[in-house]
Structure 1
Amino acid sequence: MFSLKTLTVGAAALAMTATAAFAETVIRVQSVIPAQADEVTMLNEFAADVAALTGGSLKIEVLPAGAVVGVRETLDAVDSGLIEGGFAWTHYWSGKHPAAMLFGSPVAGAGVGIDNIAFVSWFQYGGGKELYDQLWDEMGVNVKGFMLQPVGPEALGWFKEPIASMDDFRKYRFRTPPGIPGQTYKDIGVASVAMGGGDILPALEKGTIDAAEWCCPKPDSVFGFQKVLKHYYLQGLHQVVVNADLYINGDVYDGLTDLEKKALEVAANASLSKAMSYRIYENGKALKDLTENHGVILHDTPEDYFSEYMTAAKAALETNAAENEFFAEVWQSQKDFAEIAVPFWAGAQTSNANLGRAYADSLK
């Protein structure tokens, strides 16, 4: 027979066990971009998936840029544990290690024809994930990373007047991304100016720059470039692939349950697909609005851009590979993957591109 005291103690122990079982972990993730950006929309969707998969035991709270630390301090803040998580493009941290560019923004498709879909194939099945996990050790940061949002190809950008050749292009002071993509523009004689997204429109209005790129029709229209510039070029090589990623402090990640870790992995894999699907439709709607309601004129990029930029990009990749062993290892992995996958994928995509172009031309 159990005494009342025994039953009471047992009930208390059971209640404590239940409370522990349903303990909630909150990971604060500071973004490097404003809350209204499409990337944050998809990050919140990822967070909802994680919460659903864990029954609410793991929740991700998204903080806007600058909420705790400055944008440039985001990764260091995650490393130190000042914030539990961060959200950015991994090429932002190329100053810590040049190979970060190969994961966040492999210039000109890593010089071997890798587009955003092929990049996901390399990451998931071609050895990329294992190298990505190694990147944080190479950087010397206590971080667990998750690729979430592969975007691309990014538009060449916005201009005051049409450009018919690289000679026309070189007349402009042009906002570019930092790191190798921006440096490659300098290498082909373009006056490349790196600056944050929020600074671009004011710089255009003041005349500090007179041409710019950011991303794609939807994000570009949110920044309002169409208010100043009307000539838009979709085809660019500088960021054929660009990934927005999640970073979690290593100690915080290690403290999660196996179920919670698996939920992050599953939700991240889902996000790789969902982000691309979301962007195709949103960019389509934005491009239609820009051309029909804002006087934006869509052009094809001059042919000589592709040969000049690709040649300079390959030279930059070779220089970095010669100077850094891990960079060389990652790039070799991408080249080995491309040798097998790109001939098939490029051939297949040619059919898709021609099919789509035929339909787009019929709409004109």
Structure 2
Amino acid sequence: MDRRSFIRNSTIGAAAAVGTSGLAAPAIAQALPKLKWRCTSSFPKSLDTIYGGADDLAKYVREATDGNFDIQVFAAGEIVPGLQVADAVTQGTVEMCHTASYYFVGKDPTWALGAAIPFGLNARGMNAWFYYGNGIDLLNEFFAQQNLVYLPGGNSGTQMGGWFRKEIKTVADLKGLKMRIGGLAGEVLSRMGAVPQQIAGGDIYPSLERGTIDAAEWVGPYDDEKLGFVKVAPYYYYPGWWEGCVTLSFMINKGSFDQLPEAYKSLLRTAARAANLEMLAEYDYKNPAAIAQLAAQGAQLRAFTPEILEASFETSEDLYTEISGKNPAFKKIYDSMAAFRNQTFLWQQVAEYGFDSFMMQKQRQGALKAQTK
């Protein structure tokens, strides 16, 4: 079954039918108001996978309502700069945005918990915590104070550790390193001697090319290849310990959301959930070919050393303890996430890790190639 037809038939039919069981579905659809919203993205259209998350949601909503609920998506800079989208929604300039909430940790470190924190959850763990561990509700308690409604709206999976102009082998090599990096990871690296830079995606390449920065993290192979980083910083590190996954989010003006009919609220939640799944699946499909292409173009893959990973982990944990001691909102959400982090990695190392490890061994042996007659 076509996924858009499924969303249309199941969501509007089920949500709108509550209390109106005597009406046929077409009559219900016709009774819903015509709305036109604007969604401003933090990303350029050229990054089709990340930017596409907002396009996906808009399509699902538009098609499920026969165009009655029309959400227009605007790229970063078309209405406001990419790093100002949350303010635009809070102030009511636009009804919603698509962004990574950790871009706004300057307001409050709690914002990072809606996207990614160093040594946090991976994509499976994050989605489990969101949908079954009360994560969305906890985050919305916080974001309601910002006049926002938070919905997960995309996931990158575990990210790469970024592009470096020179090799990084020890913690001492981080001293004075100017690196484009967002969220709480910037604070962690700062404590380890690096100099974090907050730079929008479209400005990273020229900054690396000119030597204004020494390193930059973005997402992973598919998007990184599009931005051409391999041409100016050949060392490609992994894993992105600061982003075991990154959850993109739809942030909706709370006043606008509260005024919606219940059917439209339900549809937005369902469409955002579909967009969240869609993005992760797309990255999982496209990254394998992209990493091979980057290697062919000269990317030199490097793993962060155990020394760097251990020091980064300890610095991160110290930071969380410090923030929790003075920020009750952060502590409440982080404690919930950290408790589940312990549980999910216990479980994932049993069946999942055992299966994956064996299959990765077979891949290295060349045993997973398609069979030919």
Aligned to 2:162: 157
Aligned to 1:244: 248
From 52, 61, 86, the counterpart of 2:63: 52
> What is the match of residue 200 of structure 2?
196
Pair 252,191 (structure 1): closer, same or farther in 2 beyond 3 Å: closer
User: Does the 8 Å contact 2:178/2:214 carry over to 1?
Assistant: yes
Are the counterparts in 2 of residues 115 and 152 from structure 1 also a CA contact under 8 Å?
yes
2:151 — aligned with what? 146
% same residue: 25
Q: C-alpha root-mean-square deviation of aligned residues, in Å?
A: 2.2
Q: Do the aligned partners of 1:236 and 1:301 also contact (CA within 8 Å) in 2?
A: no
In 2, the alpha carbon distance for the partners of 1:19 and 1:314 equals 50
Q: Distance in 1 between matches of 2:215 and 2:86?
A: 30
Task: Tell me the TM-score normalized by structure 1.
Answer: 0.87
CA deviations on 1:7-28 (whole Å, 9 max, x unpaired) are xxxxxxxxxx999726421211
AA paired with 2:202? G
CA distance in 1, matches of 2:164, 2:339: 37
Q: Which residue of 2 aligns with 1:314?
A: 317
| Native 8 Å contact 1:31 1:40 kept in 2 | yes
Deviation of 1:263 (Å): 1.0
Aligned to 2:108: 97
In the TM superposition, residue 275 of structure 1 has moved relative to its aligned partner by 1.4
**Shift in CA distance, 160/74, structure 1 to aligned 2, threshold 3 Å:** closer
Once the two structures are TM-superposed, the CA of residue 100 in structure 1 deviates from its matched residue by 1.0
Q: How many Å apart are 1:98 and its aligned residue? A: 1.8
Is the CA contact 2:169–2:308 (under 8 Å) kept in the aligned structure 1? no
Distance 1:28 1:337, change over 3 A: same
Query: Considering only CA atoms, is the larger Rg found in Structure 1 or Structure 2?
Result: 1
Give, in angstroms, the shift of residue 194 of structure 1.
2.9
1:84 counterpart residue number: 95
Moved more, 48-57 or 276-285: 48-57
Aligned pairs for 1:34-49 (under 5 A) are 34-37=44-47, 38-49=49-60
Taking a change above 3 Å as real, the CA distance of residues 36 and 249 of structure 1, as seen in their structure-2 partners, is same
The structure that is helix-richer by fraction is 1
Q: Which range moved further: 257-266 or 165-174?
A: 165-174
Structure 1 counterpart of 2:53, which letter?
M
Q: Which runs of 5+ in 1 are unaligned?
A: 1-16
Residue 261 of structure 1 deviates from its aligned partner by: 1.2
Kept after mapping to 2: 8 A contact 1:30/1:65: yes
- 5+ residue gaps, structure 2, are 1-26, 368-373
Deviation of 1:339 after TM superposition, in Å, equals 3.5
Length, aligned pairs only: 340
Measured after TM superposition, the shift of residue 269 of structure 1 is 1.7
State the SS of the aligned residue for 2:365: helix
Matched, 1:335 2:342: no
